[in-house]
Structure 1
Amino acid sequence: MVVQVDIFGSCVCRDIFRYVDNEKYQVNRCISNIPITSLYEESVQVSKDFLESAKLTQYEKKMLRILMRRNTVSLLEKSEANVLIMDLANEFMERWEVAIGERTISLAVPEEREAEYEAFFGKQPFSIVKKYSMLEMDMESVEACLKQFAESIVKSPENQMGYEEKNIIVIESLYTPDILGNDGNIHGHDKKYKLHEYNEWLRRAYLILYKYIQDCKVIKLPEFTHSTENHIRGVNPLHYMGDTYEYFKQALDVLNKYSYVNSVDNLYKEKSLKNKIETRAVNSSMMYGMRGQIDILEKQIDQLQKRSITEELGGEK
């Protein structure tokens, strides 16, 4: 029987479903680019025609409309799916305060579309008042939003439209520390990403979420996970190597009773170990390569020094 799923999260959650078997899973709702911490801001009723001039894809325009209307939860409640796949990586979308006449609204802006948002919201009837990072938001406000979300999304005697806690699957998406390049070497991400701070914040946020959705299922990101230069969306700390999504797929199959080969915890340990071994091999190769380059440079320096000495002696004659 096909499992009906809803997706509410970052590109990580969406990209998993490039790898799954369509005969096993059917996506009912797919809502992205909308952080939980943006759900309870003041709403703005906007039409499709109003957003048509924005230079975004139709999907992005639809998500922006949902974001401004603040109706994510009601859309999920109306879904016929009984499994929710989610993460918290969208929380680090940049936040803008935008004035519309005498009102000021809050927007969450995807990094890769900042220029397009600037072009649309930087002209009348809008004006951009302020831009800020989620690192500036206090955790008490974050916890209040996560608590409110949990209360509205989890099924209970008072909320029959929600999901059973055991049917909420959290992908513990985090930012990778580096990129495994096509040259076989490990490279750092752009310095604009505050990777350590982002991941520390996300780990705290996931723990808060688990406090209010205690019986949810969790699929952890394996240790030593790298980004790739070959991701369909480009290079980004949330764009993982292909085998990471294969791991997510295996874990989903276990949680949805399609596979009994292993447990989710053991799959995590196995993948982390494999990543560790591969990372160690790459680092060793890089060190040997550097050692070879150092040997060559030392020989060149030695030759130059000998030549210099010979020339000096020749000069004295």
Structure 2
Amino acid sequence: MAVQVDIFGSCVCRDIFRYVDNEKYQVNRCISNIPITSLYEESVQVSKDFLESAKLTQYEKKMLRILMRRNTVSLLEKSEANVLIMDLANEFMERWEVAIGERTISLAVPEEREAEYEAFFGKQPFSIIKKYSMLEMDMESVEACLKQFVESIVKSPENPMGYDEKNIIVVESLYTPDILGNDGNIHGHDKKYKLHEYNEWLRRAYMILYKYIQDCKVIKLPEFTHSTENHIRGVNPLHYMGDTYEYFKQALDVLNKYSYVNNVDNLYKEKSLKNRIETRAVRTTMMFTLEKRINDLSSKLKNMESRLLSNIKN
């Protein structure tokens, strides 16, 4: 019988299920584009018809409606799944303060849909007041939200509808430092991404989460993970190469007792080692190519210099 799972997290968690065996897992709830730090803002009751004019996919409209109604936790509570798969990468969605009449609400905006959100919330009855990054939010407020979320989803005598801690699987999604391009070289991401700051913030947030869910299962992102130019969603620091999702799938199978060939820690070490070796090979090739180009250029300059001197003598 398939394991019933709920997904609450970024595209990383959702994309894992492009790789899993559908006979092993059945997704009950899939909630994305909703940061935990947005769950406890003031709610706005909106209808499907109200959001219909927004130029978003039906799934995105549904997620926006859930975000504005702040009913994520209640939807998870009503799910029949007993496994929750989550990450914290959605916390870095840009935040907007939007006025609706005399009220002001907070929105979390997906980077790839900023223009569509601007078109929808930039006209009456809305008014965009402010945009800001999660780096501006203090960690005390972040911890308060994470603590409240854990208390609302972890099963206890007071919360019988929650998930057992051991059935909460946290995927440690982080931003990749670079892209392994189709030319076989490593390239940097767009300078707009503050990758080091984002990852330092996320690591702190994961540590806070583990403080309150001590018995959860963790799937770490292997070292030397790269983004790809061939991801179905395009190039992004959260869009990993295909073999990374294969690793996530293997780890998921181990945690759900579909596989006994290894344990999660060893899978992480093996994938990190493989990534390290492949990265070193790519960088060595890049250095060799660069050295060859420098030598070729140096040779050309010497030939030009020789010809100039020869012309001067003549």
TM bucket (normalised to shorter chain) is over 0.9
Paired residue secondary structure (2:254): helix
Size of the alignment, in residue pairs? 314
CA distance in structure 2 between the aligned counterparts of 1:221 and 1:80, rounded to whole angstroms: 28
In structure 1, what is the equivalent of residue 107 of structure 2?
Answer: 107
In structure 1, what is the equivalent of residue 256 of structure 2?
Answer: 256
1:201-280 equivalent positions in 2, closer than 5 A: 201-280=201-280
CA shift, 1:56, in A, is: 0.1
In structure 2, what is the equivalent of residue 156 of structure 1?
Answer: 156
Paired residue secondary structure (2:161): coil
Does the alignment pair 1:171 with 2:191?
no
1:73-114 deviation digits (Å, cap 9, x = unpaired): 000000000000000000000000000000000000000000
In structure 2, what is the equivalent of residue 290 of structure 1?
Answer: 290
Paired residue secondary structure (1:257): coil
CA shift, 1:307, in A, is: 1.0
Aligned AA (1:58) = Q
In structure 2, what is the equivalent of residue 13 of structure 1?
Answer: 13
Aligned AA (2:261) = V
In structure 2, what is the equivalent of residue 95 of structure 1?
Answer: 95
CA shift, 1:30, in A, is: 0.1
Paired residue secondary structure (1:76): helix
Aligned AA (1:156) = S
CA distance in structure 2 between the aligned counterparts of 1:246 and 1:112, rounded to whole angstroms: 25
Aligned AA (1:226) = H
In structure 1, what is the equivalent of residue 45 of structure 2?
Answer: 45
CA shift, 1:294, in A, is: 0.7
CA distance in structure 1 between the aligned counterparts of 2:219 and 2:248, rounded to whole angstroms: 7
CA shift, 1:308, in A, is: 1.2
CA distance in structure 2 between the aligned counterparts of 1:77 and 1:276, rounded to whole angstroms: 41
CA shift, 1:125, in A, is: 0.1
CA shift, 1:313, in A, is: 1.2
Aligned AA (1:139) = M
CA shift, 1:51, in A, is: 0.1
CA distance in structure 1 between the aligned counterparts of 2:223 and 2:131, rounded to whole angstroms: 33
CA shift, 1:154, in A, is: 0.2
CA distance in structure 2 between the aligned counterparts of 1:138 and 1:308, rounded to whole angstroms: 64
CA distance in structure 1 between the aligned counterparts of 2:227 and 2:122, rounded to whole angstroms: 33
CA distance in structure 2 between the aligned counterparts of 1:312 and 1:198, rounded to whole angstroms: 59
CA distance in structure 2 between the aligned counterparts of 1:55 and 1:102, rounded to whole angstroms: 25
CA shift, 1:273, in A, is: 0.1
CA shift, 1:297, in A, is: 0.1
CA distance in structure 2 between the aligned counterparts of 1:53 and 1:263, rounded to whole angstroms: 48
Does the alignment pair 1:117 with 2:112?
no
In structure 1, what is the equivalent of residue 72 of structure 2?
Answer: 72
Paired residue secondary structure (1:193): coil
CA distance in structure 1 between the aligned counterparts of 2:204 and 2:29, rounded to whole angstroms: 27
CA shift, 1:311, in A, is: 1.4
Does the alignment pair 1:4 with 2:4?
yes
| RMSD after superposition | 0.3
Paired residue secondary structure (2:28): strand
Gaps of 5+ in 1: none
CA distance in structure 1 between the aligned counterparts of 2:161 and 2:227, rounded to whole angstroms: 37
Paired-residue identity, %:
89
Gaps of 5+ in 2: none
Does the alignment pair 1:187 with 2:178?
no
CA distance in structure 1 between the aligned counterparts of 2:59 and 2:225, rounded to whole angstroms: 29
Aligned AA (2:207) = L
Give TM-score, length-normalised by structure 1: 0.99
Aligned AA (1:247) = Y
CA distance in structure 2 between the aligned counterparts of 1:94 and 1:305, rounded to whole angstroms: 55
CA shift, 1:312, in A, is: 1.4
Aligned AA (2:278) = E
CA distance in structure 2 between the aligned counterparts of 1:237 and 1:188, rounded to whole angstroms: 10
